[in-house]
Chain A
């Protein structure tokens, strides 16, 4: 293990921090995002959306829209040629609503026009006659429960043919009726967070001469989009070709389709290229969010702080359509006890259909919500027993060799205790100097609400626990093609993969892997598209692991072929061959020759489909299985100053120690930790889509607040590198863990400062001053 606190930018191999290939373009504002796509003669698409959370459609009159000058097409569900249903897990979501709308913002009709304003105005002229129905807006009610884990409510209308339960995951391990000295029960709820990516949903669909379609779109997974688009259009995969357009952030919000099929339908219908770009308000309605959660946790502990059992119940509100709710439910359930070794566990996690906005993937994927509950419980255990919060966590921490509640063995590093000790040992920020008033250091900032009055400091800790990669037996793989050739006397490698770069830096890592494996400086990345095999999803902290693994394997295959060529040229077998600086070198015989000479016109190209080790489905009754690929851990310490009279917060420090297995690109790893920590901070203290009776009340950046630089403290970050023997280069996925622990650490610090229970996340000023709880999603 090495401890890394500084990063270098040397030669662009693994372990270095070379500049991103798109860095200059992005910093100078010249990078082309999907919203910048343009083509001569293209049309603009616009989407008419339901204003109601739940209603029957009696009729749709498109005539007034068609009558407008400049309008080229107006389409409804009747115009969907294939199956009018899509979805990541199962296809339950219509491309365009048929007889019923199930959430506010559900697409009902489409317009293509020669100007975006015309398209929008025309969409408004479409007359839809709705019969409003009473929306179901609470997950517990939706699944017919009268109390935690207690069925008994009848007469709840079904929003889908199979009822309102999307999935129930049960985990049962150990003694079903355990005894403990002290029992701590807590109830928590987490509001709906948005990915708040800056680049709105957008893309350009271009009809092709072969009757097919080329779609340029910002997404996280080209091939899963392609599959769903094919079904909706009734076209084969050879006719539906996708190319990744510039992605302005994703965080899970681009795993589901948004405008994809819509643009294709309009393009096929009009025979012209069609571009669709959502505006900010539409974007808030146009992608899935993080599931709101209601959670009840019961911890039984011995007096020394050892956890004897955990009984937990979680309801996740999946909203109107399934999206990835089934997998999110499994994650919340299997990771929901946290990084703690607990012998007796009873966990029930439910995902429900309601008439709220659909919820699906977001960074952390089910574990974020649970972490708020389990970490709050750990603090309460410490308080109740008069123990140190870090000490209680260490006493119960998972280790390599522990078994998690699903029975799976933790078979690589799980340095929870070390992470906690290291983050605890980092220097604390100094107290605010009262003789030097700087409003930017105060809760409220330059809004000038306190000069120190009412301000109390708190410190809190939390640990993240996250599975990396797709779980439960999913065939999770990636494809990479590597081509080595001599161009202008120089070896050049071209990498082909469909894996989506969404800002995280996969493109940089790809170049580093090739340089390391093939000793070639010049690495060209072909545009990500569906002409190469499936790259899998850019999610679950998996791309460096899986596409990185595929690329490494493809490089190895290319290298073996190069060595063959070299030995054929050399006339005999040579031992200990390596590729260094464009040359084939032997450990025993020195330089064999340059690639330029050895290869000349020979092009070496290999394509590899690469899988991580298999996982297995959960037992439906006990939840037992080796369901996950790899576990990742991070620990945060938060220091906060709270104005206890006004309930305003300044996060003073947010330090993190994370085990990353191997930092392929230390600067990018740190970037993930900074960004992830801030996204967690946002959920802790400000980010919530407020939904009342199924209606979104803050679909704008005016009222959906995300952290500004004055809300974000300087962060100390330490990386541990305990290699995972099962993973390429020993790496561990890094993108999600910091998002999971930063918020709970802040909540812990806020509770210490205010002595309030703070059971609703995000906290509101009212909660922090102990006043009436208000403004949460209605129950």
Chain B
């Protein structure tokens, strides 16, 4: 196995173009487990940890955060909890302190597991994934189109993930994850919610309950219409119980879970409806009580 060590982004892209069979290596918290536990041996490892620009984030002109693929969960928690509260909440649930120190959002996207915890909050806010290749330059993939199958994503063989481009929060966000242990657990299912008080739009993301992370489109549409129709954003009044219930039902219906060693399909659907109900209540309480709004 070869070990390739590009010192800069262009060099990395050149190497990837040269060696599409080289497996990118960021924090290694997925890659090393895979190498240790399975017989799979990539022809080469492409070590991305020496590229400084991957490890930084910046704010773009239109109030988005451009999060370098190599930014760790620890950084997200420490530095971005205000701008990206949903992602930061998800980051807090990832693994253990050691894993959060090494693991990256780019690596989570690279692995594209249906259980990846960064995915639901990225779906809920409609992030875009910036990918690059030596020959074709950069392109932005909407997060809805990024996950193409179980542990598969939309990258071409010569492409690398450069960054996630994520709108900053304009309203309350929540993330909840079910696991049968109170820390360091892979999601049995998870749910992210983002309320955009500016556009008055609701976003969602569901993890571990379908072949890929997904949005609950119907639920988003329903709640967006109800909140707008009843002028609840402006009235800042409590949500009718029936609305919360219907939203929760629609979230559960959006899922396509299976029975596996971590849980049953029936339980996952049920749990998603509970999480949807609770997170919506918390988010709306926050919006309503604090009067916090971007309007």
A705 to B184, CA, bound (A): 9
Q: Mark B178-190, 1 if CB is under 8 A from A, else 0.
A: 1111111110100
Contact B182 A775 (CB under 8 A): no
Q: Is A580 an interface residue (CB 8 A)?
A: no
Q: Is A64 an interface residue (CB 8 A)?
A: no
Chain A residues numbered 758-779 whose CB sits less than 8 Å from any CB in chain B? 764-766, 769, 771-772, 774-775
Q: Is B284 an interface residue (CB 8 A)?
A: no
Contact A447 B176 (CB under 8 A): yes
Contact A645 B274 (CB under 8 A): yes
Chain A residues numbered 409-464 whose CB sits less than 8 Å from any CB in chain B? 440, 443-451, 453-454
Min C-beta distance of B72 to chain A, whole Å: 17
> Which residues of chain A have C-beta atoms less than 8 A from B179's C-beta?
444, 447
Given contacts A690-B261, A766-B266, contact A700 B37 (CB under 8 A): yes
Name the one of A448, A650, A775 contacting B176, with C-beta atoms under 8 angstroms: A448
Name the one of A280, A702, A771, A775 contacting B270, with C-beta atoms under 8 angstroms: A771
Across the two chains, which residue of chain A brings its CB closest to B175?
A448
> Which residues of chain B have C-beta atoms less than 8 A from A85's C-beta?
none
A772 to B174, CA, bound (A): 29
Contact B181 A711 (CB under 8 A): yes
Q: Is B62 an interface residue (CB 8 A)?
A: no
> Which residues of chain B have C-beta atoms less than 8 A from A709's C-beta?
183
> Which residues of chain A have C-beta atoms less than 8 A from B262's C-beta?
703
Q: Is B105 an interface residue (CB 8 A)?
A: no
> Which residues of chain B have C-beta atoms less than 8 A from A382's C-beta?
none
Q: Mark A255-284, 1 if CB is under 8 A from B, else 0.
A: 000000000000000000000000111000
Name the one of A281, A650, A711, A775 contacting B264, with C-beta atoms under 8 angstroms: A775
Contact B259 A705 (CB under 8 A): no
Contact B264 A444 (CB under 8 A): no
Q: Is A532 an interface residue (CB 8 A)?
A: no
Q: Mark B256-295, 1 if CB is under 8 A from A, else 0.
A: 0001011110110011001100100010000000000000
Min C-beta distance of B227 to chain A, whole Å: 22
A447 to B92, CA, bound (A): 8
Contact B259 A775 (CB under 8 A): yes
Contact A769 B263 (CB under 8 A): no
Q: Mark A697-713, 1 if CB is under 8 A from B, else 0.
A: 11010110101111100
Min C-beta distance of B216 to chain A, whole Å: 18
Across the two chains, which residue of chain B brings its CB closest to A766?
B267
> Which residues of chain A have C-beta atoms less than 8 A from B96's C-beta?
708
Name the one of A443, A686, A697 contacting B261, with C-beta atoms under 8 angstroms: A697
Number of A-B contacts (CB under 8 A): 113
> Which residues of chain A have C-beta atoms less than 8 A from B259's C-beta?
774-775
Min C-beta distance of A770 to chain B, whole Å: 11
Q: Is A637 an interface residue (CB 8 A)?
A: no
Contact A771 B266 (CB under 8 A): yes
Contact A702 B182 (CB under 8 A): no
Min C-beta distance of A714 to chain B, whole Å: 15
Across the two chains, which residue of chain B brings its CB closest to A712?
B182
DSSP class of B's interface residues: helix, strand, loop or mixed?
mixed
Most A CB contacts (10 A, CB to CB) among B178, B180, B261 go to B180
Min C-beta distance of A684 to chain B, whole Å: 12
A120 to B177, CA, bound (A): 37
A448 to B264, CA, bound (A): 21
Given contacts A698-B261, A774-B264, contact A279 B37 (CB under 8 A): yes
Contact B182 A764 (CB under 8 A): no
Contact A708 B184 (CB under 8 A): yes
Q: Is A642 an interface residue (CB 8 A)?
A: no
Name the one of B36, B263, B278 contacting A775, with C-beta atoms under 8 angstroms: B263
Across the two chains, which residue of chain B brings its CB closest to A696?
B261
Q: Is B125 an interface residue (CB 8 A)?
A: no
Name the one of B37, B174, B267 contacting A281, with C-beta atoms under 8 angstroms: B37
> Which residues of chain B have C-beta atoms less than 8 A from A451's C-beta?
278, 282
Contact B180 A705 (CB under 8 A): yes
Q: Mark A665-703, 1 if CB is under 8 A from B, else 0.
A: 000000000000000000001100010000001101011
A89 to B228, CA, bound (A): 74
Most A CB contacts (10 A, CB to CB) among B89, B92, B185 go to B185
A443 to B185, CA, bound (A): 14
Chain B residues numbered 32-77 whose CB sits less than 8 Å from any CB in chain A? 33, 36-37, 39
List 10 A–B pairs whose Cβ atoms lie within 8 Å, in order of A's numbering: A444-B176, A446-B183, A447-B182, A454-B274, A646-B271, A708-B181, A710-B183, A711-B181, A765-B267, A766-B264
Name A's B-contacting residues (CB within 8 A). 120-121, 124, 279-281, 440, 443-451, 453-454, 645-648, 650, 685-686, 690, 697-698, 700, 702-703, 705, 707-711, 764-766, 769, 771-772, 774-775
Name B's A-contacting residues (CB within 8 A). 33, 36-37, 39, 89, 92-93, 96, 174-186, 188, 259, 261-264, 266-267, 270-271, 274-275, 278, 282
